A and B are shown apart, each in its own frame.
Chain A
């Protein structure tokens, strides 16, 4: 069975600092990988996705993630945090020929002034 782990349920960074949110997956076949963000009182919004093309994926709002098969990781980064990045971030995987997402537990990002 697939599973997704996100290291750190809460991450705090200072405004302007690097954001690094970790995601590791377990899957017997290379999956599709996604990062979603949920702002307060809103639905999940797609940040970026990996679908077996380039391993470095650029998303919206300056975020990017790198697929590392050897490490079974898909960590999310942003060079400089902004106050508006405060939200909850979810990593999700989907099997190549499957349909359903398996989500990680989420990481809540706080950005300190």
Chain B
């Protein structure tokens, strides 16, 4: 069974540009999560999809971030326009069910905004 995959693995962009991150969850996992770790700080929750619906987006920092999950399969996270403070590692995770169900994490996308 393939794990959670994320693309790209690294991205370096200039302030003001747009970047789109992609996450492919494990097949059959309805729940998809985005997390972010800013340098030197803890991993923080961004949002949670159940299939194609946003279950919880309370962690999204501002309206420069847009997440989609069309068709309930892969998800994209777009940052437009990117700011310096958006630099960090963006993790995606997926799980089959709820509550104690294990979340499986992808390798992350390392974003650097210059």
Chain A neighbourhood of B4, CB < 8 A? 43
Asked if B107 and A103 make an inter-chain contact with CB atoms under 8 angstroms apart, the answer reads no
Within residues 56 to 108 of chain B, which ones have a CB less than 8 A from any CB in chain A? 56, 59, 91, 93, 98-100, 102-108
Interface residue range, chain B: 20 to 34
Within residues 64 to 113 of chain A, which ones have a CB less than 8 A from any CB in chain B? 90, 92, 94, 96-106
Asked if A99 and B55 make an inter-chain contact with CB atoms under 8 angstroms apart, the answer reads yes
Contact mask for chain B residues 19-58; partner A; CB cutoff 8 A; 1 contact, 0 none: 0000000000001010100000111110010000001100
Cross-chain contact of B105 among A36, A97, A105, A106 (Cβ < 8 A): A36
Asked if A103 and B44 make an inter-chain contact with CB atoms under 8 angstroms apart, the answer reads yes
Chain B nearest Cβ from A105, distance in angstroms: 4
Least CB separation from B102: chain A residue: A46
Cross-chain contact of B91 among A34, A43, A97, A105 (Cβ < 8 A): A43
Asked if A101 and B35 make an inter-chain contact with CB atoms under 8 angstroms apart, the answer reads yes
Chain A nearest Cβ from B23, distance in angstroms: 11
Interface residue range, chain A: 20 to 34
Asked if A99 and B56 make an inter-chain contact with CB atoms under 8 angstroms apart, the answer reads yes
Asked if A100 and B107 make an inter-chain contact with CB atoms under 8 angstroms apart, the answer reads no
Asked if A99 and B44 make an inter-chain contact with CB atoms under 8 angstroms apart, the answer reads no
Asked if B100 and A101 make an inter-chain contact with CB atoms under 8 angstroms apart, the answer reads no
A36-B105, A43-B4, A103-B42 as given contacts; A97 in contact with B99, CB under 8 Å: yes
Asked if A49 and B44 make an inter-chain contact with CB atoms under 8 angstroms apart, the answer reads no
Asked if A43 and B55 make an inter-chain contact with CB atoms under 8 angstroms apart, the answer reads no
Least CB separation from A90: chain B residue: B43
Asked if A105 and B41 make an inter-chain contact with CB atoms under 8 angstroms apart, the answer reads yes
Given contacts A43-B4, A98-B99, A99-B48, 11 further A-B contacts (CB under 8 A): A43-B106, A43-B107, A46-B102, A46-B103, A90-B43, A94-B100, A99-B99, A101-B35, A101-B45, A104-B42, A105-B41
5 pairs of A and B residues whose beta carbons are closest in the complex: A44-B105, A51-B100, A43-B107, A103-B43, A100-B45
